[in-house]
Amino acid sequence: MGWATYNEKTFERIARMGVEESGLGDPDGRVGKRFKVMGILRDILRQKSVGVIEELPEKGIAKYAKPAGLITSLIPTTNPELTPPGVGLFALKCRDTVIFSPHPRSKNTTLEMVRVMRVVLEREGVNPDVFQCVEKPSIPLSQYLMANCDLVQATGGKDMVKSAYSSGVPSLGVGAGNSTMVFDETTDIEQAARNTRVSKTSDFGSGCSADGNLVVEDSIYDRFLAQIQKEGGYLVNADEKAKLQAALWDAEGHRTSDTVAISAQRIAARAGFEIPADRKFIIVPETNIGKEFLFSSEKLCVVLSIFRYKGFDQALKMVEAIYDVGGKGHSCGIYSHDDDHIHRLAMMAPVSRIMVRQPQSKANAGAFDNGMPMTSSLGCGTWGGNITSENIHLKHYMNTTWVSRPIKEDKPSEREIFGEFYGTGPV
Give the pLDDT confidence of 313-324 residue by residue, as tens digits: 999 999 999 999
Residue 83 domain-assigned? Answer: yes
Q: State whether 353 and 393 are in the same domain.
A: no
Asked if pLDDT for residue 156 goes beyond 80, the answer is no
Q: State whether 161 and 199 are in the same domain.
A: no
Residue 417 domain-assigned? Answer: no
Q: State whether 190 and 339 are in the same domain.
A: yes
Asked if pLDDT for residue 83 goes beyond 80, the answer is yes
Asked if pLDDT for residue 158 goes beyond 80, the answer is no
| pLDDT tens profile 7-39 | 999 999 999 999 999 998 899 889 999 999 999
Please give the sequence-ordered ranges of beta strands (E in DSSP) within 113-150, or none if there are none. Answer: 131-133
Residue 29 domain-assigned? Answer: yes
Tell me 249's DSSP state.
B
| pLDDT tens profile 193-233 | 999 999 999 999 988 999 999 999 999 999 999 999 999 99
Q: State whether 144 and 189 are in the same domain.
A: no
**What pLDDT is attached to residue 89?**
98
Asked if pLDDT for residue 157 goes beyond 80, the answer is no
Residue 162: pLDDT band (50, 70, 90) is confident
Q: State whether 190 and 119 are in the same domain.
A: no
Q: Percent of the chain scored above 90 by pLDDT?
A: 89
Residue 413 domain-assigned? Answer: no
Determine which one of 208, 301, 332, 380 is catalytic. 208
- Amino acid found at 85: P
Residue 412 domain-assigned? Answer: no
Residue 160: pLDDT band (50, 70, 90) is confident
- Amino acid found at 117: M
Q: State whether 166 and 48 are in the same domain.
A: yes
Integer Cα distance of 240 and 167 in angstroms: 44
Q: State whether 264 and 293 are in the same domain.
A: yes
Residue 398 domain-assigned? Answer: yes
Domain count, the chain: 2
Let me know if 208 is a catalytic residue: yes
Q: State whether 101 and 211 are in the same domain.
A: no
Q: State whether 83 and 113 are in the same domain.
A: yes
Average pLDDT for the chain: 95
Nearest CA to 285 out of 296, 276, 275 is that of 296
Cβ atoms of 96 and 71 within 8 Å: the answer is yes
Residue 266: pLDDT band (50, 70, 90) is very high
Q: Percent of the chain scored above 70 by pLDDT?
A: 100
405 by Cβ neighbours in 10 Å (0-12 / 13-18 / 19+) ranks as exposed
CATH label of the domain that carries residue 61: 3.40.605.10
Residue 86 domain-assigned? Answer: yes
Burial 59-83 (b: 16+ CB within 10 A, else e): eeebeebebbbbbbbbbbbbbbbbb
- Partners of 379 in beta bridges: none
Q: State whether 158 and 189 are in the same domain.
A: no
Asked if pLDDT for residue 116 goes beyond 90, the answer is yes
Domain limits for position 133: 2-173+389-404
- Full DSSP string of 160-220: HHHHHHTSSS-EE-------EEEE-TT--HHHHHHHHHHHHHGGGG-STTS--EEEEEHHH
Residue 6 domain-assigned? Answer: yes
Residue 418 falls in which region: left (phi positive, over 0), alpha (psi -120 to 50) or beta: alpha
Q: State whether 186 and 158 are in the same domain.
A: no
- Full DSSP string of 256-309: PGGGTT--HHHHHHHHT----TT--EEEEE----BTTBGGGS---SSEEEEEEE
Pairing of strands 180-183, 303-309: unpaired
CATH label of the domain that carries residue 189: 3.40.309.10
Q: State whether 395 and 350 are in the same domain.
A: no
* pTM, to two decimals: 0.93
